[in-house]
Amino acid sequence: MSVALLFPGQGTQHTAMLPWLASEPAARPVLAWMAEHLGGDWRARVADADWSQSNAIAQPLVTGASLAAWAALEGGLPRVVAVAGYSVGELAACVASGMLAAGDALALARRRAAAMDACAGDGRAGLLGLSDADPADVDAACARWGLEVAIRTGERRCIVGGGRAALDEAAAHLAALGAKTTPLGVRVASHTSVMRAAVPALARALAEAPWRAPRVAWVAGITGAVERDPVEVRRLLAEQVATTVRWDACMDAVAERRPGAVLEVGPGTTLVRLWRERFPAIPARACDEFASRREIVEWIADAARP
């Protein structure tokens, strides 16, 4: 039996996420960190978008929720053949691969958010999800409104980033051409050149953390390739904030490892929905689709059986 793990990025947080974590002893250290750094009422406050969608909160919040779920599940999973993280989810994936300790990943999530906020300007920027979009139409809209593709998720799916006013105009234009448009709950143009100034600060933070060689194949977001050298991993993680994420290629690389099942570890179901669309023959579920750790472990044992 084998499984691959996907770790989500910010924007997936919600008040009802992963309620079963509170009863899992292995998750308590991470949950205690979250209570200390985000406040004991962090779950209730997720409903306040002004609070929960800010970088300073969202990045450690999603990282913490994912790492708490990983800590609870780690001992009950079959062989993990690959891990991949979506945006800030790469930090949690580093923990699951054995390269980072959970505490160091949580600290890095905070420093990543601070580095990005420092070059975010007036905050009037964000991300726009597109589906059923003609690539030529997307390219033309990006050129016209000064936008950039931040994340590629499929042949006719992507996320573009830029100024909020430009995104609004591009959304109306692309919707008229038949695309589905979804403004995302992110307030910076992540994974675009706007974030270039954040790279050196993040690189310094990453260099200060203790790293180990991975025990599991870790797929890099901006290359879609397995990387095993921690020095190169640090470089890729720093560059990622200002570079297009190739999530489509990441999914392909994970599929090449031939997992028996795929599990999204963290809040939300975004990544498994993308996976099911691209690889419907490989069963995939999200932790947020279950009511307990036991249910997750039992599903994986059944789904991943050869």
For residue 279, the tally of other CB atoms under 10 A from its CB is: 16
Question: Whole-angstrom Cα distance, residue 264 to residue 270?
Answer: 9
Q: Does 223 share its domain with 110?
A: yes
Asked whether 126 and 186 are in contact (CB, 8 A), the reply is yes
Asked whether 30 and 70 are in contact (CB, 8 A), the reply is no
- CATH number for the domain spanning 262: value is 3.40.366.10
pLDDT in tens, 69-93: 999 999 999 999 999 999 999 999 9
Q: What Å distances lie between residue 44 and 32, 72, 248, CA to CA?
A: 16, 22, 33
User: What average pLDDT is seen over the chain?
Assistant: 95
pLDDT on residue 185 = 80
Q: Does 65 share its domain with 80?
A: yes
- Does any domain span residue 48? yes
- Does any domain span residue 202? yes
Question: Whole-angstrom Cα distance, residue 60 to residue 10?
Answer: 9
Tokens of 36: 């200390």
Single out the residue of 41, 250, 161 nearest to residue 262, CA to CA. Answer: 250
Single out the residue of 270, 263, 284, 271 nearest to residue 72, CA to CA. Answer: 263
- Does any domain span residue 39? yes
- Does any domain span residue 152? yes
Q: Does 236 share its domain with 294?
A: yes
DSSP 32: H
Phi, psi of 28 (to 5 degrees): -60, -40
Q: Does 213 share its domain with 236?
A: yes
- Does any domain span residue 248? yes
Stretch 246-253: mean pLDDT: 98
Q: Does 271 share its domain with 257?
A: yes
- Does any domain span residue 189? no
pLDDT on residue 121 = 66
Strands of 156-267, DSSP E: 157-163, 180-183, 218-219, 245-246, 261-264
Residue range of the domain that includes 278: 2-119+196-303
Quick one: what percent of the chain has pLDDT higher than 90? Answer: 90
Kindly tell me if the per-residue pLDDT of 303 is higher than 90: no
What is the three-state SS of 103-154? HHHHHHHHHHHHHHHHCCCCCCEEEEEEECCCHHHHHHHHHHHCCEEEEEEE
Q: Does 129 share its domain with 214?
A: no
Q: Does 214 share its domain with 153?
A: no
pLDDT band at 296 (very low <50, low <70, confident <90, very high): very high
pLDDT on residue 186 = 83
Question: Whole-angstrom Cα distance, residue 104 to residue 85?
Answer: 16
pLDDT on residue 48 = 93
**Residue 80: strand pairing partners:** 3
Q: Does 9 share its domain with 49?
A: yes
Lowest mean pLDDT among 40-44, 149-153, 240-244, 260-264: 40-44
Question: Whole-angstrom Cα distance, residue 180 to residue 135?
Answer: 13
pLDDT on residue 129 = 96
Question: Whole-angstrom Cα distance, residue 28 to residue 34?
Answer: 10
pLDDT on residue 199 = 97
Tokens of 45: 């406050």
pLDDT on residue 119 = 86
pLDDT band at 123 (very low <50, low <70, confident <90, very high): low
pTM confidence score? 0.95
Lowest mean pLDDT among 14-18, 27-31, 178-182, 223-227: 14-18
Q: Does 21 share its domain with 101?
A: yes
- Does any domain span residue 190? no
pLDDT on residue 122 = 66
Domain count, the chain: 2
Kindly tell me if the per-residue pLDDT of 198 is higher than 70: yes
Q: Does 137 share its domain with 151?
A: yes
pLDDT on residue 1 = 84
pLDDT band at 148 (very low <50, low <70, confident <90, very high): very high
Q: Does 133 share its domain with 152?
A: yes
- Does any domain span residue 191? no
pLDDT on residue 187 = 82
- CATH number for the domain spanning 140: value is 3.30.70.250
pLDDT on residue 45 = 95
Stretch 215-230: mean pLDDT: 97
Question: Whole-angstrom Cα distance, residue 140 to residue 97?
Answer: 39
Q: Does 131 share its domain with 204?
A: no
